[in-house]
Amino acid sequence: MTALLLDAVSWVLLMAGCVLVLIGALGLVRMPDFYCRLHPAGITDTLGADLILLGLMVQAGFSLITIKLLLIGAFMFFTSPTSTHAIANAALVAGLKPERAKVPALPEDKGDNQ
Amino acid sequence: MNLDDVFGLFNYWMVIVLMMTGFYIVVSRGNLVKKIVGLNIFQTSVFLLYISMGKVRGGTAPILTGKPEIYSDPLPHVLILTAIVVGVATTALGLALVVRIKNAYNSIEEDEIQKADDATEFGGELPQGAK
Amino acid sequence: MLSGVFSFVSAGLLVHLDAVDVAFTEAAVGAGISTVLMLSTLALTARHESLNRRPRAIPLIVVFLTGLTLVYGTLDMPRFGDPNAPIHSHVSPKYVNDTAAEIGMPNIVTAVLASYRGFDTFGEVTVIFAAGIGVLLLLAGTIRNAINGNISAMEHHLVLRVVTKVLIGPILLFALYVQFHGDYGPGGGFQAGVIFATAFIIYALVFGLETARRALPGRVVRILLATGVLIYGGTGLISFVTDHNFLDYSVLGATAVAGQHLGILLVEFGVGMTVSAVMVSTFYAFAGQNPPISDEDW
Amino acid sequence: MFTATALALLAAMALALVRLYAGPSLYDRVLAANSFGTKTVLLIGVMGFLTGRPDFLDISLLYALLNFIGTIAVLKFFRYRTLGDNVEGEGKP
């Protein structure tokens, strides 16, 4: 009974993580300019990664593997946003402007761009 | 040739594709840094060749677990493990040579270096910037 | 330029092929050192390739023909994963079957690396040592010594500095774990050395090369460089002078297995020391150069 | 279950490769490479479970630690044009 429950929990976590990672990757390809792409790459990846790791942790039970997974999660929790921050900062300093910031709404955008 | 052959030899063919990519870069590019990148790709293909030969079907990583299991061949792993680190060290040596060539000739293009050598040997006009 | 991705792919592939030790090395090398080396060379040479005026057809034909010949050659090769392939029938079964009894450690790769084929590894370490010396000989003359003026190495990147500070400790700790856990899991001196060096490289990248040199002077690194090889060779010599074969560790401990354990530990320590010293000194040599880049190169 | 996760991660990696290849600016490429690295960490972890030997998480752990070094090196290189120290005044950002 407990095993089944654990399986179900880890299944849900893994799938949620997968969906988030896939959305992130899709956004990375589909988003119109660099600053938009930061969001799928940075935010969804961090949450998706942590969810997948959590799912694996539930699956592994309480052992050295769990500790390692926990460490991986902790380090990724730090480094992933840091890299994103560094990339964004470097791009801004290098003078990369948000493409659509000053552009009036294009016809096909249906007015939903910022 | 049947289907089993195709799948059984697929790993070698991928290695060959990778190897030829590296070879092409080495042969066709005049830029010395690019040549070293090509050599690195070539090197990686050799690594993959060894490792894929060491794989045994149904085998697992060669770290004993106590249970009787089939293990992959550890010998290629040992050879390649050291080769990777040696590869980095020798790449560094090659890159250091490139840096010195840049200092001496003010260029890392093979053609221009050749031209400068010809000029010093047979007389003639040195390309701009070469010492 | 982002050859790092290449390393990610190959590491994934290697894990799939059960070569965890090799994947570990590839991960350690590819994630940091090789990118940094390439970039520092690019910083010292030109970024752009000048237009290539060579004919492209001839190399393409040559490459294509060579490839076809090689493909023809593979037709006789053993099939992928075939347990009866010649490569598996020679010495490998001995390694797999005898390691538990003779060396007494679970990781066969480490046992083969440090004990059965200790000569090979000694040669490899010497090659790395020689390459490190070569880099120093080529580049040491032009290293810029002191810097007048402010070091502007990412001073204003507060987030980066803090996170790097947090991370360097775990990286060093992890390197030690890899170094001494190599008997039981994937790891060993080669990987640990590279990871150790990477910690110093990231420190130099974020806090400035001068700061890193103050923490770990180049002179010390050069001494470590030679000490590592000496430890390896010295371990071999101990058994040599006690009437055994060179690098036969059985004499080092009370029992043969204990001796093997001690010997492998010492040898791996020497390997780790040399590898990390070579990597750090190579980085110092490359990064300490005066960038000769003129603006038209960019 | 693990197979599905691994497949999803592989698909995500393929998409990141698309961006890596297409990325109009350098920073897009760095971003894609970074996210590719994150996914490799996950994939290696999942593959450990898939093959039933999850004690090889060390490789993932290593990547989690070292993933951002490459990113920082690239960014520093393209900003300061050197990986060493740059003296004030030369190599303006």
Considering only A25-34, C279-288, D15-24, which range has the smallest mean pLDDT?
D15-24
pTM of the predicted structure, to 2 decimals? 0.83
- Tens-place pLDDT, residues C137-173: 888 776 665 454 444 455 567 888 888 888 899 889 9
State the Cα–Cα distance between residues A8 and C191, nearest whole angstrom.
38
State the Cα–Cα distance between residues A80 and A45, nearest whole angstrom.
8
Ranges in chain C, pLDDT < 70: 1-19, 46-55, 142-156, 290-298
Q: Which of residues C12 and D46 earns the better pLDDT score?
A: D46
State the Cα–Cα distance between residues C284 and C204, nearest whole angstrom.
9
The pLDDT score that the predictor gives to residue A108 is 46
C218 close to D (CB below 8 A): no
Cβ-defined contact of D11 to A22 (cutoff 8 Å): yes
pLDDT at A57 over 60: yes
* All partners of chain A with 3 or more CB pairs under 8 angstroms: C, D
Nearest CA of chain B to the CA of C156: how many Å? 31
**Beta-bridge mates of residue C107:** B63
The pLDDT score that the predictor gives to residue C248 is 79
Find, in chain D, the residue whose alpha carbon is nearest to that of C13: D44
Considering only B68-72, C58-62, C226-230, D61-65, which range has the smallest mean pLDDT?
B68-72
Nearest CA of chain D to the CA of B61: how many Å? 8
Among candidate residues C263, C89, C11, the one with its CA nearest the CA of residue B75: C89
pLDDT at A109 over 60: no
- Over residues B68-74, mean pLDDT: 77
Identify whether the C-beta of residue C109 lies closer than 8 Å to the C-beta of residue C116: no
Find, in chain D, the residue whose alpha carbon is nearest to that of C174: D62
The pLDDT score that the predictor gives to residue C8 is 58
Q: Which of residues 42-61 of C touch D (CB under 8 A)?
A: 42-43
pLDDT at A113 over 50: no
ipTM above 0.90, yes or no: no
* All partners of chain C with 3 or more CB pairs under 8 angstroms: A, B, D
State the Cα–Cα distance between residues B78 and C113, nearest whole angstrom.
6
Q: What is the DSSP string of C4-59?
A: HHHHHHHHHHHHHTT-HHHHHHHHHIIIIIHHHHHHHHHHHS-SSPPPP-S-SHHH
Crossing angle (nearest 10°) for helices A2-30 and D2-22: 10
Half-sphere exposure at residue C40, Cβ-oriented, CA atoms within 13 angstroms: 30
Q: Which of residues D83 and D79 earns the better pLDDT score?
A: D79
Nearest CA of chain D to the CA of C228: how many Å? 24
pLDDT at B56 over 90: no
3-class SS of residue C247: coil
Q: Which of A8-22, C8-22, D13-27 has the highest mean pLDDT?
A: A8-22
pLDDT at A78 over 50: yes
The pLDDT score that the predictor gives to residue C129 is 93
- Over residues B84-106, mean pLDDT: 88
C139: its two tokens: 């580049």
B contacts of D53 (beta carbons < 8 Å): 60-61
Identify whether the C-beta of residue C188 lies closer than 8 Å to the C-beta of residue C111: no
Identify whether the C-beta of residue B73 lies closer than 8 Å to the C-beta of residue C99: no
Nearest CA of chain D to the CA of A110: how many Å? 25
Instruction: Give alpha helix (H) positions in chain A.
Output: 2-30, 34-39, 45-60, 64-93
3-class SS of residue B31: strand
- Over residues B8-21, mean pLDDT: 84
Find, in chain B, the residue whose alpha carbon is nearest to that of C278: B89
Among candidate residues C33, C34, C85, C126, the one with its CA nearest the CA of residue B75: C85
The pLDDT score that the predictor gives to residue D38 is 85
Nearest CA of chain B to the CA of D89: how many Å? 23
Q: Which of residues 33-92 of A touch D (CB under 8 A)?
A: 34, 37-38, 41, 45, 49, 52-53, 55-56, 59-60, 64-65, 68-69, 71-72, 75-76, 79-80, 82-84, 86-87, 90-91
Q: Which of residues 18-47 of C touch D (CB under 8 A)?
A: 20, 23-24, 27-28, 31-32, 35-36, 39-40, 42-43
Q: Tokens 């293909």 correspond to what residue? A: B45
Half-sphere exposure at residue C206, Cβ-oriented, CA atoms within 13 angstroms: 25
Is chain A touching chain B, with at least 3 CB–CB pairs below 8 Å? Answer: no
- Tens-place pLDDT, residues C253-280: 778 888 888 888 888 899 999 999 999 9
Q: Give the containing element (helix H, strand E) for D4.
A: helix D2-22
**Is the sign of the CA dihedral C236, C240, C246, C252 positive or negative?**
negative
Identify whether the C-beta of residue C260 lies closer than 8 Å to the C-beta of residue C115: yes
The pLDDT score that the predictor gives to residue D88 is 40
Q: Which candidate in D47, D53, D56, D59 is best for mutational testing of the B interface (most B CBs within 10 A)?
A: D53
The pLDDT score that the predictor gives to residue C154 is 55
